[in-house]
Amino acid sequence: MVKPWLGHYTYGMRTRFYTHPICREHITPPGHPERPDRLRVIVDRLDDEPFAYLERLEAPLAAEETVLYAHPQEHLDKVKANIPQQGLACIDEDTTVSPKSLEAALTAIGGALAGVDDVFSGETGNVFVAGRPPGHHAEKNRAMGFCLFNSAAIAARHAQKKHGAERVAIVDWDVHHGNGTQDIFWDDPSVLYCSTHQMPLYPGTGAAEETGAGNIVNAPLPAESGSDAFRAAFNEAVLPALDRFSPDLIIVSAGFDAHRRDPLAEINLEADDFDWATGVLMERADRLSQGRLVSLLEGGYDLQGLSVSVAAHVGRLLKG
């Protein structure tokens, strides 16, 4: 029976939500957009009644060795060497670490890996992981853009190593191009990377001509684009690429900084656009990937915009 207050969300759909308090202990400087309050507003919003049937679990701590799925040992060692015993340390002008940052990053990875395990085991239909720091700017050998390790890339490799996935698709709708994910899979046709993003904008990559081994699909959008341009990019570039690729798993790099309120970009999406994008990816997952979809939090820096966008995204996941 559907509870009256559930609104348009359907009772009984299996969606898991992973997060962990340690991810709020990755501390950034005052005024930094990637701040612990991002997780606070997400958890608070998903505690509302429409999400009563969302299954909540604590993200586990991943082993350090899982970082090596996407990064060399030298990168892991460098990040560890930068972790301070107290206070803050800078990796670059945008990326800082604090005493709990390594544990937070490994827990964000742990949630991603648990989500992959869940959808391959059939224990849940789909998964949303709210961890931080984010990951999609982390290149093979470089932490940057608020990111230490590339959780989406590590999760894709985990699906291949543990579950025998032959093809994994990563769809990135963060407003900033996921240069790290592109770097890691540039010459690997077993992983499809599709990105919609504002261009020009940090980090300066993501031109349509950047195609890797034919497995990279970039759909850059000019500043002040809105819903029509975003949906056209999906319909004309992302969804046909997924159809051709026929993945065994879809991973979403779910940044919500293309929302119109976000201070770091000028793409004017509404929460409904994230609902729509989630729905079309779920349809592809149902048809191509036995329903397997794992969504990982990336950007989103206006707290109100982030809250309503995540609610739309998770609300759609709950519809199954």
Task: Give pLDDT < 70 ranges for the chain.
Answer: 1-13
**pTM, to two decimals:** 0.95
pLDDT at 9: 38
pLDDT at 14: 85
* Residue of 75, 136, 137, 197 marked catalytic: 137
- Taking only Cα atoms into account, the Rg of the chain, rounded to an integer number of angstroms, comes to 18
Q: Which residues are CB-contacts of 84 (< 8 A; sequence separation ≥ 6)?
A: 97, 98, 99
The region, left, alpha or beta by phi > 0 then psi within -120 to 50, assigned to residue 246 is left
259 classed as catalytic: no
Structure tokens at 1: 């029976």
pLDDT at 320: 80
All structural domains of the chain, each given as residue ranges with its CATH number in brackets, are 22-319 (3.40.800.20)
pLDDT at 11: 39
- CA 90 – CA 98 distance, rounded (Å): 9
pLDDT at 3: 28
Find the DSSP H helices in the chain: 37-46, 73-82, 101-121, 151-163, 179-185, 227-233, 239-245, 271-288, 303-319
- CA 301 – CA 38 distance, rounded (Å): 7
pLDDT at 242: 98
Q: For the segment 134-175, what is each residue's pLDDT rounded down to a tens digit?
A: 999 999 999 999 999 999 999 999 999 999 999 999 999 999
Sign of CA dihedral 191, 195, 200, 202: negative
